[in-house]
Amino acid sequence: MQERAQDAQIKLEGRIAGPWTEELSRVWMEASPRVSSKRLVIDLRDVTYADAHATHLLREIYVQTHAELITGTLWTQSLAEVIKQGDQQKSEEL
């Protein structure tokens, strides 16, 4: 995670599954209080796979922060849409 005065960026790479999802969760738990007032950017361009737990975690982070999701492939664009849909579904439930 990179932090600057106005924003913070999480750059993810490769497969986000199993222990890597747990690591992302740990990093987010530690960083979320520090970045709550900053604009968050999540760089998904180099992600090649995300399991259901990773997608759920990314959806939770997005719902909390309305982070900007950066994509670079059709697959990461699709992942970003799934992440954003979680926010829409939650709004519809309210």
All domains of the chain, ordered by start, with CATH?
2-93 (3.30.750.24)
In percent, how much of the chain has pLDDT > 90? 69
Annotate the chain with three-state secondary structure. Answer: CEECCCEEEEEEEEEECCHHHHHHHHHHHHHHHHHCCCEEEEEEEEEEEECHHHHHHHHHHHHHHCCEEECCCHHHHHHHHHHHHHHHHHHHHC
Residues contacting 58, CB < 8 A, separation 6+: 16, 42, 50, 79, 83
- What is the per-residue pLDDT across 17-69, written as a single tens digit (0 to 9) for each? 999 999 999 999 998 888 877 889 999 999 999 999 999 999 999 999 999 99
